[in-house]
Chains A and B, each alone.
Chain A
Amino acid sequence: MPAVRWVGSRVVGAVVVLWAVATLIFFAIRLVPGDPAEAILGGPGSQASQASLDLVRREYGLDRPLLVQYLDQLGRLATGHLGESYSLKQPVAAVLAAQVPPTLTLAALSLVAAWLLAIGVAWWSSGSGRVANAVASGLEVVASAVPHFLLGSVLIVVLSTSLGLLPPVSTGTASGIVLPVITLAIPVAGFLGQVTRDSLLDAAAAPFALTARARGESRSGVFWRHLLRHAALPGLALSGWAFGSLLSGAIVVESLFARPGLGRTLLDAVTLRDIPLVTGVALVSALAYVLVVALGDLAERLVDPRGGRA
């Protein structure tokens, strides 16, 4: 039963990843200066009284040995308890429930947009000669290297301030999601385009492409039915990576366009040393990453029926 084995190995892998993430976060956040008791008492530099500090340390178990706290934390996580956010005084699960959907929507739309952009450019340049090809690959290199905050700011100035086409901030209107999606999609599209183009050129030069043309297939028929299948494979394999980069890009983009979501939650939580919330966001992101990699793997098997590579 290869399917069961495949699922089983994925689940074991996911558990190992989640444990590693939880452990890393637990110790890493304690290595940097900053007292979690202070975070609970209204942020760093709080001039909290000794009585308040003692109360908090006792209540949150911060006065116990680190190893005990770590095991306790693992035990809680294993039973599905993410704890309560220090800064928001809300259950972490509730915060995540509110913040995961906007970020997933943003990341998913951006991934789709990135694929559309990458394939569109590939389609346009594949049949338009050497100059188009050079222009396209130049664009892709620039796109994949441009930082989100720069791209986002330029888009705001051009599309929003100067042309007044789209709202500069994301909340309030449906069209508000367009600029954040474009900002996130362009660098990923550049990257996907680069890997897709290489395999597209290889496939176009392969004998089966020539045979198809000889059979009388149109250029677009060859592109969509034959070449793209080959060319998309490395891109699909990288979709997991692309999704991860979208999640990290969300930290910048959500702040820039004032969108609610995991990225902003993580940024605030790290600044405030809100350990339960940081752990919660990291675990959810890791889980999403594991899932998307598995889905990419699955999609790869569907596109490439040769199979048997796992």
Chain B
Amino acid sequence: MRTPLPAVVGTAAAAALVLAGCTATGGDATGTATPVSGGTLTYATGDAEPTCLDPHVGGNYPQALVSTQYLEELVSKNSDGDVIPWLATAWKQSDDGLSWTFTLKKGVSFTDGTAFDAAAVVANVEHVKDPKTLSSTGYLALAKVDKATAVDAQTVRFDLSSPDSSLLDSLSQPWLAIESPTALKRSQAVNCESPVGTGPFEVQKWVKQESITLVRNSDYTSPPKDAAHTGAAYLSKIVWRFLPDSASRYAALQSGEVDVIDNAQPDSLVAAAKSSQLRAIDAPRPGASDRLELNSSQAPFDDENVRRAFITGVAVNPGIKSLFFGTAKRSYSLLSSVEKDSYSDPSLFAIDTANAKKLLGQAGWTGRDSDGYRTKDGKRLTVRFPVSTNQSIPAERSLFEQIQQEAKGLGFDVEIQQLDLSSWYGALAAHKYEIVSAPYTKVGPGVLDILYNSSSITPAPSGYFANNAQVDSKQVDSLLAEASAEPSETKRHDLYDQVQKIVLEGYYVLPLYDQQNHYLYRTAVHGLRAMPTVSTPSLYDAWLQK
């Protein structure tokens, strides 16, 4: 059962309102107002509480959300998707692509007084690559970096084992933020409680299951190039609260107890669009789109006809429209719409149930059992669909149920299994799935190399593999390798297009929508924006109207 908010009844009018409300992607409507310094902003997050505030350790989205306020990266991206300077002011790739030299910003200090210099960057690379740090996301992003060397105080060189055209994208992610080398020398338990960065705020206190208190760094000097102002942040304090239930989170925003919430659900977005007190930011996460992947390594989806029958026979648009009240736009791409290299082809996904049934017949699924499902050699056309309840919102789980019903019309028996995160990964590792929806956040098209390279079929030591569709194509592999080594952006774009075409035309994947990421905030909040890198909120430019 879902939370009984009065707003769950979506109407066409409400949906239209939401669309109108969401097109204004952040910023503030009263742009002429003069920023006010001071005040405490309360942010309520619906994401899980991090177990460590240092995003080098592990490396997940909840860590990225909060660390965006106190840690900074070498580079960032602007809203056009171009890489822009941050802690590094310039960079250069060697002709063989095997070394990158970064010039660092001068006069920057960490909030513990340690100077930010080349030695600090080297210490951070070593920290992420040290197995004892237990880094996963950052570790993977630095996979091709052999070592970093301080050339002089303001210059650092990265030496690579093979060329990596997505290195800058990787370095723009919060999981590779630069921390104080002095602070990193403390024990991991201590550094997890109070990591030290160069950011506009610093961690003051963390009360578990309740909140993190961040205070302004008054000596701040290093905003990214696309920030709206320079110098210290306007807000003097941020209270970062953990409010896991979406209905109470929205209620707290409505009552003014909190100023900003993340993970706003479709029903809240519809309700907020009708309120003059609230505004929305729609900031899809980068990397992959949310999509269903069909396991092509085993029956029945090892047969392209069966995959094609499923993808062109199951209509998802009506479900997306009604269950998300128009807050989620249908995607026809492997990549998030924020990715410049996203290739989209709606024509491949045109619904043709008659043809889908014909394809299933050609694939030999001609029998019918007493429940109306198709059979072949006495075996039912069953596909298992493990769903992670931690990674899937209620509206999405309802959509999956609609997909189940739609597929039944074709003769598919879709077995939805709702699992907690650990069990879900367990089911994947044991190949007990034919359909799966696995979100993947990463900056840049390099995510294709993780998701569709045949090397990602081999499980990592932890049992995890990212190529859930089990795409095993030499052509895809070589195009991805070429793209990784290709210095020209235009040529890379073309190579990534070809990869996406092959995967889409092979009917391995049914794209649904971008990874949903909606913020709601009170109109008294100005200057809030989502970072163009991984769409985390930045409160540096934010201020509160008195």
Q: Which residue numbers of A lie inside 8 Å of B, CB to CB?
A: 32-35, 37-53, 55-56, 87-90, 95, 98-99, 149-150, 153-154, 156-157, 160-161, 164, 167-169, 171-172, 255-261, 264-265, 268, 270-273
Contact = CB atoms under 8 A, between A and B. Distances in A.
Given A160-B255, A257-B245, A265-B209, 11 more contacts: A33-B427, A42-B51, A44-B424, A46-B462, A48-B136, A48-B139, A55-B131, A56-B134, A98-B208, A160-B251, A169-B241
B10 interface: no
Contacts of B254: 161
A35 B425 CA distance: 10
A41 B56 CA distance: 11
B277 to A, nearest CB: 13
A264 B209 contact: yes
B247 interface: yes
Given A33-B426, A157-B5, A257 B462 contact: no
B255 A171 contact: no
Contact of A33 (B6, B242, B245, B423): B423
B1 A41 contact: no
A226 B108 CA distance: 78
B211 interface: yes
B244 A258 contact: yes
Contacts of A169: 44, 241, 243, 248-249, 251-252, 257
Nearest to B390: A271
Interface stretch (B57-65, B280-288, B511-519): B57-65
A88 B208 contact: yes
14 contacts: A39-B422, A44-B425, A47-B464, A48-B139, A49-B131, A52-B131, A53-B462, A56-B134, A153-B4, A172-B257, A256-B247, A257-B245, A258-B245, A264-B244
B188 A89 contact: yes
A42 B248 CA distance: 28
Nearest to A258: B243
Contacts of A53: 461-462
A270 B419 CA distance: 12
B211 A171 contact: yes
Contact of A258 (B4, B241, B429, B463): B241
B430 interface: yes
B462 A48 contact: yes
Interface string B163-198: 000000000000000000000000011001000000
B66 to A, nearest CB: 15
Contact of A156 (B59, B244, B247): B247
A51 B136 CA distance: 12
A258 B242 contact: yes
Given A34-B423, A258-B242, A47 B60 contact: no
B422 A89 contact: no
4 pairs of A and B residues whose beta carbons are closest in the complex = A42-B58, A33-B426, A34-B422, A260-B209
Interface of B: 1, 3-6, 44, 48-49, 51-52, 57-60, 131-132, 134-137, 139-140, 188-189, 192, 207-211, 241-245, 247-249, 251-252, 254-255, 257, 390, 420-427, 429-430, 460-464, 466
Contacts of B209: 99, 259-261, 264-265
Contacts of B424: 44
A272 B4 contact: no
Given A46-B464, A52-B134, A34 B247 contact: no
B49 A268 contact: yes
A91 to B, nearest CB: 10
A35 B139 CA distance: 20
Nearest to A173: B257
Nearest to A36: B422
B58 A41 contact: yes
A42 B139 contact: no
A42 B136 contact: yes
Contacts of B427: 33
Given A47-B462, A153-B4, A258-B243, A42 B251 contact: no
B141 to A, nearest CB: 10
A48 B252 contact: no
B47 to A, nearest CB: 12
B257 A47 contact: no
A157 B422 contact: no
Contacts of B241: 169, 171, 258
Contacts of A172: 257
A47 B139 contact: yes
Contacts of A153: 3-5, 247
Nearest to B247: A153
* From B1, B4, B48, B251, residue with most partner A Cβ within 10 Å: B251
B51 A87 contact: yes
A47 B136 contact: yes
B208 A157 contact: no
A42 B57 contact: yes
A49 B52 contact: no
Contacts of B420: 270-271
Contacts of A39: 422
B134 A40 contact: yes
A44 B462 CA distance: 9
Contact of A44 (B1, B44, B249, B421): B421
Contacts of A273: 422
A44 B424 CA distance: 9
A273 B99 CA distance: 41
A145 B205 CA distance: 41
Given A35-B463, A56-B134, A90-B189, A271 B421 contact: yes
Contacts of A43: 51, 58, 60, 421
A99 B207 CA distance: 11
Nearest to B450: A47
B251 A49 contact: no
A171 B210 contact: yes
Nearest to B49: A268
Nearest to A34: B422
A271 B422 contact: yes
B146 to A, nearest CB: 15
B257 A150 contact: no
B251 A35 contact: no
A24 B430 CA distance: 25
A141 to B, nearest CB: 20
A55 B132 contact: yes
Contact of B425 (A34, A56, A268): A34
A89 B57 CA distance: 12
B237 to A, nearest CB: 14
Contacts of A98: 208
B192 A49 contact: no
